[in-house]
């Protein structure tokens, strides 16, 4: 699990911890141009990530075995627990 700075105030990488027994957590990372927000929820056999990215930033998000490149805005990813 972690947060990595690829290029300060421009590009970051998020690889959130996805624990089996934890059903919910939120993370706020304050930055110079806004805040990265991540919400993890596990219920009804699904894992859900919600990520808000401030304008002008890019986030490389690892979610299970998949990686997504996110630009500014509100993002939603979901996967089954069986994956």
Per-residue model confidence (pLDDT) at position 21: 81
Instruction: Note the pLDDT of residue 64.
Output: 79
pLDDT tens-digit profile of 13-58? Answer: 988 877 778 889 898 999 888 999 999 998 888 889 999 999 999 9
What is the Cα–Cα distance from 76 to 48, expressed in whole angstroms?
A: 7
Residue labelled with tokens 């490149």 = 69
Which pLDDT value is given to residue 81?
62
pLDDT of residue 83 exceeding 60, the answer is no
């Amino acid at each position: 699990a972690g947060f990595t700075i690829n290029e300060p105030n421009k590009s970051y990488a998020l690889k959130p911890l996805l624990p089996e027994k934890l059903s919910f957590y939120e993370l706020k990372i304050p930055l110079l141009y806004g805040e990265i927000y991540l919400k993890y929820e596990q219920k009804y056999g699904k894992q859900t990530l919600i990520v808000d990215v401030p304008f002008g930033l890019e986030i490389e998000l690892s979610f299970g075995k998949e990686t997504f490149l996110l630009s500014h805005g509100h993002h939603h990813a979901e996967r089954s627990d069986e994956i």
